[in-house]
Amino acid sequence: MVLREVLERSGYRVEMAEHGLVGIEQLRRVEIHVVLLDMDMPVMDGRAFLAVLAQDARLARVPVIVYSAGPRPAPLPVGARAWIWKGAEVSDVLAALARHGSKSGE
C-alpha cells in the first residue's frame, strides 16, 4: 500500500490485483501501460502470468517489471523487462517504471 501511495503521488494511476488471474483479466479490460509483478502470488504465480502474456500478442506488448523478494534469476524470465528486489529503494522502482513504461495518458 505504501508503494501504491508513492506511485500515485508520482503521477501513476495504479490498478491492483490480488493474484495473477485477476491481473490478466484487468489487462484484458483496462488499458495498462506497465505491470509491476510479484512472482509469488496465489492462484496464478508470476511465471504463469508471464506465460499467459506471451501467448496473447496484445498483452505481450505490455512491459512487465518484476518486483519480488526472491533473488533475480539469470536470465530474466521471458516477458520480464527488469527485476527489482522488494528491498530496493522506491527510487529504483520509479527509475524502472520511467525506463520501461509510461504513466496513464502519456
Domain range summary for the chain, segments of one domain joined by +:
16-100
Structure confidence at residue 106 as a pLDDT band (50, 70, 90):
very low
* Alpha-carbon torsion (99, 101, 104, 106), positive or negative: positive
> What confidence tens digit (pLDDT) does each residue in 31-90 have?
888 999 988 888 988 999 999 999 999 999 999 999 988 878 888 888 999 999 888 888
In the prediction, which pLDDT does 88 show? 86
Q: How many CB atoms lie under 10 A from the CB of residue 19?
A: 15
Q: Do residues 35 and 24 lie in contact, with contact meaning Cβ atoms separated by under 8 Å?
A: no
Q: How many angstroms separate the first and last alpha carbons of the chain? A: 24
What does the pLDDT read at residue 103? Answer: 58
* Calculated CA dihedral for residues 67, 69, 74, 77, nearest 10 degrees: -50
Superfamily per CATH, domain 16-100: Response regulator (3.40.50.2300)
